[in-house]
Homo-oligomer: A and B are copies of this chain.
Amino acid sequence: MKRIESEQNASIKQWKKLYTRKERDKLGQYIIEGPHLIEEAMNHNVQIAHLIIEESYQMPHDWEQLRLDPWVVSKKIMGILSDTEHPQGVLAICRMSSKELQVKAGGKYLLVDGVQDPGNLGTIIRTADAAGLDGIVLGEGTVDVYNSKVLRSTQGSLFHLPVVKGNLQDWIAACRQEQVPVFVSALKGAESLHDVQSSGTFALVVGNEGSGVRMEIMESADQLVYIPMFGNAESLNVAVAAGIMLYELQKNRK
Contacts and interface: CB of A to CB of B under 8 A. Distances in A.
Given A133-B231, A231-B132, A231-B161, A243 B250 contact: no
Nearest to A232: B160
Contact of A227 (B119, B239, B247, B248): B247
A82 interface: no
Size band of the A side of the interface? 35 or more
Contact of A231 (B131, B153, B230, B233): B131
Nearest to A159: B232
A237 interface: yes
A250 B230 contact: yes
Contact of A243 (B130, B231, B240): B240
Contact of A236 (B233, B237, B243): B243
A248 B127 CA distance: 16
B244 A160 contact: no
22 contacts: A119-B119, A123-B237, A123-B239, A123-B240, A126-B236, A126-B240, A128-B231, A129-B231, A129-B232, A129-B233, A130-B231, A130-B233, A131-B230, A132-B229, A133-B231, A155-B234, A160-B231, A194-B251, A227-B247, A230-B250, A237-B239, A237-B243
